[in-house]
């Protein structure tokens, strides 16, 4: 039936008798149309306005028919009389298409065909009247819709032809069945972003529906769609298997999509942040006096110059700029990939930390030396010229109860220098927080971090150190140049706040073993002060190898001594003074009572290492509610199991990270320290950061034998640029996005992360999408992305790229 007809149309072999008949019919029809239109009072729109858009539609549909006719059998056009090629019609397309179709169906009776066509013409004209009234409002939609429908192929053609002519458009839409939602969505999609439609139509039909619905809805609807598709995956793992993640690495790098999800997830993501709507991120290079070593809150020279006094080292404290910088810190010339641990403890690349001042000042004490293209560290210090390891072992010989790596696990080293003391304590399974100011001892903390030893830039000045109370097992000071006895012992009282009851203060300084008048005076003042603090002098000996003396004091386990003092000097702190309050809190000249209740933190010494890592702290009770809403013990256990599972199933094997190259790690938003605990078997250390607006769980982290610090990520962190190999951010960016500048935090991440270093971000999908865009604009490599149930994961790697344009920070110029 239709095969012969479409063969005739496609091969263009018209019959002469047929043509003459058609000509007569068309002429009569046109006459009737003209008479009818002249007498009609229902239409005030001229014929050209009707024909022009319809003619355009005819041309576009014709092209689609020709294209599809070569790919599909002819019967697909049976219900599409309006989709005929142009050579099959001469004149008004709307009149002649249905007339010719009827003529073909009844070609055995030409007279009957004429009558049928005349009747059909009248019906078409009546339809044209309806169409005319709608043409002004709909013609643009139709024109764009026809373009979208061409992409849909067969279904698009069927949608157009459900009504017998374009005048029946509304009826066609209502009766189009399955094609209607897709057709409607195509029209809306075409209006909003034709270019996106062209790209997304390449996906399967289900993907098209997902994309189009996202185009209409807001981001929340996108998340719901994404969640539904993720659930259909049926994955029970926290993240995909290693094989899936390997594929993720490839596709994420090439396409920047959520590659482990179904294709619609990728499409939704692309629609959410189309290239035409993405914010343009441009970057500049920071021009500061500190150059490649710029620390925003420590190099604010404008604030430092306006200080009223520097007597208490105020100029070494934090003075953050009003607005955090959004420029990138330059790299040192010739920067190289850092040497891996443990070799880095002995030598680092000179090009990475090109400073020689300490070589000249402290070279004779074996702090640091220059050897060709390396800086070497013999392991010495001012008080241990012949090596830190001997010094460490001598301390344990003095007092075996110290029991490095068993009883004593977490140490604070004040005035650490290049941190050789902490570096060699790793051999004893001891974790040391090394602390020193950014002062005339050029880059001492930077040397420590480059060596792979934990350290921060900080000073004991007018504020409490950013650590919780009763956290450290031992506090160490070797010629740390801190006037402990001055001003009523205010600085030593800060150590008393930080030291656990029963913990030790190990002091190695000239007043212990020299008899100079100044040294004797200091020793007498310290003896009086420590007695008032109820610190007991346990040992005082001289190390004959290094020629130095060491004194070891112990903080009391109870309040008995405090209650027996003849004078309340220094006074006990008020009950309202929280020993854990440490963020921008002024130093206090008072002592906190020792906790004595069975369930009070600090009343018992922790389990020996490493049992304390997994041991539930005795002071967490079932009556307390944990961070995640369960009882505190359940919360603690669940957190530990969660991160153990995530690290073992995903991070260690599925992220494409060479963990042998990872040494310095930061958990930027730690809770119970579960992430750090899960990495304990690796040769690395984790700086656990508890944000100041989060539940204060840092004491729990210290109780486990880990360490960390309080911080507000709306400000810069107290560390040198290029300090860390790996950053981990669990729902940090979404928190920051609500309170301050997320872009500034990304810049801070770029500052503290080493080239080739990586960041793992877990956050809401929309945050992951935005971060991916920002990281790409910084020329970072996106190693993988993954999402499920509105949550996403991103792993990105920093590169050596730096912008060429420069931004001068006037407040950072001396």
Residues 6 or more apart whose CB falls under 8 angstroms from that of 138 comprise: 169
Taking 60 as the threshold, does the pLDDT of residue 789 lie above it? yes
Q: What is the pLDDT of residue 358?
A: 82
Residue-wise DSSP of 299-360: --HHHHHT-S--TTSGGGS----SS---SBPPPPTT--PPPPTTGGGTEEETTTS---HHHH
* Rounded Cα distance, 461 and 274, in Å: 51
Which one is predicted more confidently, 617 or 203? 617
Peptide bond into 342 cis (omega under 30): yes
List the single range of 77-86, 495-504, 680-689 with lowest mean pLDDT: 77-86
If you average pLDDT over residues 383-398, what whole number do you get? 93
Residue-wise DSSP of 34-76: HHHHHH--S--S-HHHHHHHHHHHHHHHHHHHHHHHTTS-GGG
* Rounded Cα distance, 449 and 434, in Å: 10
If you average pLDDT over residues 745-749, what whole number do you get? 98
Q: What is the pLDDT of residues 405-449, one digit of tens each?
A: 999 999 999 999 999 999 999 999 999 999 999 987 778 999 999
Q: What is the pLDDT of residue 37?
A: 67
Taking 60 as the threshold, does the pLDDT of residue 167 lie above it? no
Closest-CA residue to 142 (of 205, 203, 101, 186): 186
* Rounded Cα distance, 499 and 470, in Å: 5
If you average pLDDT over residues 657-668, what whole number do you get? 97
Q: In what order do the strands lie in the sheet with 374-376?
A: 347-349, 374-376, 369-371
Q: Taking the CA of residue 630 as centre, how many other CA atoms within 13 Å lie in the half-sphere pointing to its CB? A: 8
Q: Which H or E run includes 212?
A: helix 205-216
If you average pLDDT over residues 547-574, what whole number do you get? 95
Q: Which H or E run includes 667?
A: strand 664-667
List the single range of 268-277, 349-358, 724-733, 785-794 with lowest mean pLDDT: 268-277
* Rounded Cα distance, 417 and 17, in Å: 106
Write the DSSP symbol of residue 533.
T
Query: Residue 379: pLDDT band by 50, 70, 90 thresholds?
Result: confident
Q: What is the pLDDT of residue 382?
A: 82
Q: What is the pLDDT of residue 32?
A: 74
If you average pLDDT over residues 205-227, what whole number do you get? 39
Report whether 720 contacts 295 (CB < 8 A).
Answer: yes
Closest-CA residue to 473 (of 703, 680, 666, 685): 703
Residue 226 backbone phi and psi in degrees, to 5: -60, -40
Q: In what order do the strands lie in the sheet with 536-543?
A: 455-457, 431-436, 410-414, 472-478, 499-508, 548-554, 536-543
Report whether 377 contacts 347 (CB < 8 A).
Answer: yes
261, burial (CB in 10 Å: exposed 0-12, middle 13-18, buried 19+): buried
If you average pLDDT over residues 291-320, what whole number do you get? 97
Q: What is the pLDDT of residue 51?
A: 38
- In 224-292 the beta strands, taken as DSSP E runs, fall at 285-287
Does pTM top 0.85 for this prediction? no
Taking 70 as the threshold, does the pLDDT of residue 180 lie above it? no
* Rounded Cα distance, 92 and 504, in Å: 100
CB atoms within 10 A of CB 505: 26
Buried residues in 181-198 as b, exposed as e (16+ CB within 10 A): ebbebbbbbbeebeebbe
Q: Which H or E run includes 688?
A: strand 685-691
Report whether 505 contacts 495 (CB < 8 A).
Answer: yes
List the single range of 275-279, 291-295, 508-512 with lowest mean pLDDT: 275-279
* Rounded Cα distance, 4 and 433, in Å: 89
* CA–CA–CA angle 345, 348, 353 (5° rounding): 125
CA-to-CA dists, residue 179 to 211, 224, 668, angstroms: 16, 24, 50
Taking 60 as the threshold, does the pLDDT of residue 347 lie above it? yes
Which one is predicted more confidently, 172 or 514? 514
Closest-CA residue to 684 (of 667, 696, 669): 667
Query: Residue 388: pLDDT band by 50, 70, 90 thresholds?
Result: very high
Q: Is 739 helix (H, G, I), strand (E, B) or coil?
A: helix
- In 466-610 the beta strands, taken as DSSP E runs, fall at 472-478, 499-508, 536-543, 548-554
* Rounded Cα distance, 53 and 200, in Å: 27
Taking 50 as the threshold, does the pLDDT of residue 621 lie above it? yes
Closest-CA residue to 327 (of 664, 668, 716): 716
If you average pLDDT over residues 516-541, what whole number do you get? 96
Question: How many residues make up the chain in this entry?
Answer: 814
Q: What percent of the chain is predicted at pLDDT more than 90?
A: 61
Q: Does domain 285-329+610-812 have CATH number 3.40.50.300?
A: no
* Rounded Cα distance, 768 and 786, in Å: 9
Q: What is the pLDDT of residues 691-740, one digit of tens each?
A: 999 999 999 999 999 999 999 999 999 999 999 999 999 999 999 999 99
Same topology for domains 285-329+610-812 and 386-451+471-564, yes or no?
A: yes
Q: What is the pLDDT of residue 733?
A: 98
Report whether 332 contacts 351 (CB < 8 A).
Answer: yes
**Would you say the C-alpha torsion 741, 743, 744, 749 has a positive or negative sign?**
positive
* Rounded Cα distance, 678 and 664, in Å: 15
Query: Residue 36: pLDDT band by 50, 70, 90 thresholds?
Result: low
How many helices (H) does the chain have, and how many strands (E)?
30, 19
What residue ranges do the domains of the chain occupy? Answer: 2-192, 205-272, 285-329+610-812, 386-451+471-564
List the single range of 7-16, 297-306, 369-378 with lowest mean pLDDT: 7-16
Q: What is the pLDDT of residue 122?
A: 45
**Which CATH code is given to the segment(s) 386-451+471-564?**
3.40.50.150
Closest-CA residue to 609 (of 473, 462, 770): 473
Contacts 24+ apart (CB under 8 A), 519-525: 522/485, 525/485
Taking 90 as the threshold, does the pLDDT of residue 634 lie above it? yes
Query: Residue 119: pLDDT band by 50, 70, 90 thresholds?
Result: very low
Q: What is the pLDDT of residue 808?
A: 98
Q: What is the pLDDT of residues 182-212, one digit of tens each?
A: 444 444 433 444 333 333 333 333 333 333 3
Q: What is the pLDDT of residue 39?
A: 59
Q: At what angle do helices 110-152 and 179-192 cross, to 10 degrees?
A: 60
Q: What is the pLDDT of residues 77-118, one digit of tens each?
A: 233 333 333 333 333 333 344 444 444 444 444 444 444 444
Q: What is the pLDDT of residue 26?
A: 67
Q: What is the pLDDT of residues 643-656, one digit of tens each?
A: 999 999 999 988 88
Q: What is the mean pLDDT of the chain?
A: 77
Q: What is the pLDDT of residue 649?
A: 93
* CA–CA–CA angle 793, 266, 257 (5° rounding): 50
If you average pLDDT over residues 458-462, what whole number do you get? 96
Q: What is the radius of gyration, based on Cα positions, of the chain?
A: 39
């Amino acid at each position: 039936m239709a095969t012969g007809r479409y063969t005739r149309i496609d091969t263009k072999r018209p019959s002469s008798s047929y043509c003459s008949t058609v000509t007569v019919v068309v002429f009569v029809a046109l006459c009737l149309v003209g008479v009818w239109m002249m007498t009609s009072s229902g239409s005030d729109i001229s014929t050209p306005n009707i024909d022009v858009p319809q003619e355009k539609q005819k041309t576009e549909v014709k092209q689609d028919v020709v294209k599809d006719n070569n790919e599909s059998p002819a019967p697909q056009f049976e219900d599409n009389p309006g989709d005929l090629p142009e050579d099959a019609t001469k004149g008004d397309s709307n009149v002649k298409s249905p007339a010719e179709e009827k003529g073909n169906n009844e070609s055995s009776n030409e007279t009957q065909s004429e009558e049928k066509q005349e009747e059909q013409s009248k019906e078409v004209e009546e339809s044209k009247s309806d169409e005319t009234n709608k043409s002004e409002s709909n013609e643009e939609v139709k024109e764009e819709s026809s373009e979208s429908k061409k992409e849909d192929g067969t279904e698009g053609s069927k949608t157009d032809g459900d009504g017998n002519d374009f005048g029946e458009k509304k009826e066609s839409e209502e009766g189009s069945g399955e094609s209607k939602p897709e057709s409607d969505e195509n029209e809306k999609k075409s209006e909003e972003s034709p270019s996106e439609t062209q790209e997304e139509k390449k996906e399967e039909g289900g993907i098209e529906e997902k994309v189009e619905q996202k185009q209409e809805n807001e981001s929340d609807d996108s998340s719901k769609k994404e969640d539904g598709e993720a659930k259909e995956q049926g994955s029970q793992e926290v993240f995909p298997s290693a094989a899936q993640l390997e594929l993720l690495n490839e596709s994420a790098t090439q396409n920047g999509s959520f590659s482990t999800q179904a294709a619609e997830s990728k499409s939704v993501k692309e629609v959410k942040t189309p290239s035409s709507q993405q914010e343009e991120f441009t970057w500049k290079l920071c021009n500061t006096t500190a150059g490649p070593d710029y620390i925003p809150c420590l190099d604010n020279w404008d604030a430092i110059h306006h200080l009223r006094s520097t007597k208490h080292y105020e100029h070494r404290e934090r003075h953050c700029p009003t607005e955090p910088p959004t420029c990138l810190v330059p790299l040192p010339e010739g920067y190289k990939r850092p040497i891996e641990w443990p070799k880095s403890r002995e030598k680092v690349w000179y090009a990475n930390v090109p400073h020689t001042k300490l070589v000249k000042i402290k070279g004779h004490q074996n702090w640091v030396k220059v050897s060709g293209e390396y800086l070497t560290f013999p392991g010495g210090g001012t008080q241990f010229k012949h090596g830190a390891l001997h010094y460490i072992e001598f301390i344990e010989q003095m007092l075996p109860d110290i029991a490095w790596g068993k009883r004593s696990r977490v140490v604070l080293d004040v005035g650490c220098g290049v941190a050789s003391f902490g570096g060699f304590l790793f051999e004893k399974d001891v974790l040391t927080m090394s602390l020193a100011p950014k002062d005339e001892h050029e880059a001492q903390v930077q040397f420590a971090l480059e060596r792979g030893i934990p350290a921060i830039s900080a000073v004991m000045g007018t504020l409490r150190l950013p650590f919780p109370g009763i956290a450290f097992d031992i506090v160490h000071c070797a010629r740390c140049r801190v006037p402990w006895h001055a001003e009523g012992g205010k600085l030593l009282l800060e150590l008393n706040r930080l030291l656990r009851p029963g913990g030790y203060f190990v002091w190695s300084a000239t007043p212990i073993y020299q008899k100079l008048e100044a040294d004797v005076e200091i020793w007498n003042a310290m003896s009086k002060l420590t007695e008032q603090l109820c610190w007991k002098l346990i040992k005082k000996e001289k190390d004959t190898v290094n020629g130095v003396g060491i004194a070891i004091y112990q903080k009391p386990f109870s309040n008995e001594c405090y209650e027996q003092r003849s004078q309340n000097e220094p006074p006990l702190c008020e009950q309202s003074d929280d020993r854990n309050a440490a963020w921008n809190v002024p130093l206090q000249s008072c002592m906190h009572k020792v906790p004595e209740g069975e369930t009070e933190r600090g009343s018992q010494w922790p389990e020996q290492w490493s049992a304390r890592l997994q041991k539930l702290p005795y002071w967490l009770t079932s009556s307390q509610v944990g961070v995640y809403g369960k009882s505190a013990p359940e919360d603690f256990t669940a957190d530990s199991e969660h991160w153990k599972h995530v690290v073992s199933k995903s991070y260690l094997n599925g992220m494409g990270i060479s963990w042998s190259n990872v040494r310095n790690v930061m958990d930027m938003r730690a809770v119970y320290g579960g992430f750090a605990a899960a990495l304990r078997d690796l040769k690395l250390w984790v700086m656990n950061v508890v944000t100041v607006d989060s539940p204060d769980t840092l004491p729990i982290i210290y109780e486990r034998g880990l360490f960390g610090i309080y911080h507000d990520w709306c400000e810069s962190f107290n560390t040198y640029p290029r300090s860390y190999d790996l950053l981990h951010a669990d729902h940090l960016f979404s928190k920051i996005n609500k309170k301050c500048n997320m872009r500034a935090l990304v810049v801070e991440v770029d500052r503290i992360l080493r080239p080739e270093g990586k960041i793992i971000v877990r956050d809401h999908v929309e945050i992951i999408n935005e971060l991916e865009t920002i990281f790409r604009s910084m020329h970072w490599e996106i190693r993988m992305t993954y999402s499920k149930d509105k949550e996403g994961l991103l792993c990105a790697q920093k590169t050596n790229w730096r912008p060429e344009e420069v931004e001068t920070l006037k407040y950072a110029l001396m």
